[in-house]
Structure 1
Amino acid sequence: MILVTVEAKFSPDDVDEAISLFNAQADDIRLMDGCGHYALFRDIGGDGIAILQHWAATDAFNAYKTSDVFAKLGQDLRPLMTAFPVTRVATIDSV
């Protein structure tokens, strides 16, 4: 399994818009082959979000990263971000 976390920061005025953009795409992402989990969390500080994703395999995660959904989400979110997102990818052999 592939575990992915993404943390992104936004100005306080743009966080709600960013969350709306994520939520608009979330169901399509959850239906992708190999997606076991896709959840969005708002940072306690209020200026950021974190996304937690589980993918069955690297191939499934790579297919997501090259999908139209991923490209559109990045295109819409990039102008709202106040810093580069921090992404962590880990392989989980057993839980």
Structure 2
Amino acid sequence: MLIRIVRMTFREEEVENFLKIFNASKHKIRSFSGCNHLELHKDYNKDNIYVTYSHWDNENALNNYRHSDLFKSVWTDTKALFADKPVAYSHREVMVV
């Protein structure tokens, strides 16, 4: 499993527009082949910083999404709202015994 975390900083006046984009696309993203989980988190102290947290079968599944028309559409609309460059991380879960 691949865990993808993307931290996005929006211009304050664009936060509502981002939420509209996310809410309109979240079900499509969740049902995309290889996506097993998608959450949206808001920074505890800053109202214009959001993080998506998603689980993918593997890197290939994430890349298939990232090359899809769905991603291109959502990302084009979302990146126009940024106040700063997004930061993305890919992780794998580590079990500590």
Compute the TM-score of the two structures, normalised by the length of structure 2. 0.89
- Map Cα deviations across residues 45-90 of structure 1 (whole Å, 9 max, x no partner): 1011100000011111111110111101111011110111000011
Q: For residues 48 and 68 of structure 2, what CA distance do their matches in structure 1 show?
A: 27
Runs (4+) of structure 1 exceeding 2 A deviation are: 91-95
Shift of 1:13: 1.3
Q: For residues 91 and 62 of structure 1, what CA distance do their matches in structure 2 show?
A: 16
- Counterpart code for 2:28: D
- Counterpart code for 2:4: V
3-state SS of paired residue (1:83): coil
Determine the structure 2 residue equivalent to 1:19: 19
Determine the structure 1 residue equivalent to 2:77: 76
Determine the structure 2 residue equivalent to 1:43: 43
The runs of 5 or more residues in structure 2 that have no matched partner are: none
Determine the structure 2 residue equivalent to 1:3: 3
Determine the structure 1 residue equivalent to 2:65: 64
Query: Quick check: 1:30 aligned with 2:30?
Result: yes
3-state SS of paired residue (1:82): coil
Q: Kindly tell me the number of residue pairs found equivalent between the two proteins.
A: 95
- Counterpart code for 2:34: G
